[in-house]
Amino acid sequence: MSPRPVRSRKVSNPPVISGFRPYGGNRKEKGQVFLQYEEYEAIRLCDHEQMKHHEAASAMGVSRPTLTRIYARARQKIAGAFVEGKQIIIEGGKVHFDSEWYACSSCGCHFNHPEKHEIIYTCPLCGSKQVSKNDELNENSHL
């Protein structure tokens, strides 16, 4: 039997940097560790936002045990990089970047915006500037 496919993890804030490089010490190249996006997100939710594991799990759309495994792997990789003086590179992993919902009061449509880095000013349907974030839909996790 083949194993079940990995569920895509929801990442709501992509990292602002693509990795860390050590400085000082013996500057000879010590190698690198690859931190996956989902591991970065687990660290962000659990340690930076100080969420409980079950809260972080539902935020990422995975089960609580899976989140704990991702988190443990992240800690191990980061600890390995610190101790051995390796570079950390954030990449890979089965993730999707969650987008937020917006509403347009001119044509009454709702739309999402997959390109997080660009700020949205106009409705993609009617072009009006009367757009606002739709918090009601954003909190309703299934849509």
Partner 1 sequence: MKTAICSQGNRLESHLDERFGRCSHFVIYDQISGGIEFLPNPGKEAEEGAGPAAVQFLASRGVRKIVSGEFGLKIKPLLDSLKIQMIILKNSGKTVQQVIDMLNQI
The Cα–Cα gap between 35 and 13 comes to: 15
Question: Is 76 or 140 the residue whose CB approaches partner 1 more closely?
Answer: 140
Tokens of 133: 């974030």
Work out whether 99 is an interface residue with partner 1 (CB under 8 A).
yes
Site residues (CB under 8 A) for partner 1, limited to 105-124: 107-115, 122, 124
Contact between residue 131 and residue 103 where contact means Cβ atoms under 8 Å apart: yes
C-alpha dihedral (44, 45, 51, 54), degrees to nearest 10? -140
Going by the DSSP 8-state scheme, the letter that residue 95 receives in this structure is: E
6, 72, 79, 126: which one contacts partner 1 (CB under 8 A)? 126
Site residues (CB under 8 A) for partner 1, limited to 35-74: 61
Residue 111: CB minimum distance to partner 1, A: 4
Residues in touch with partner 1 (CB under 8 A): 8, 10, 61, 95-99, 107-115, 122, 124-127, 142-143
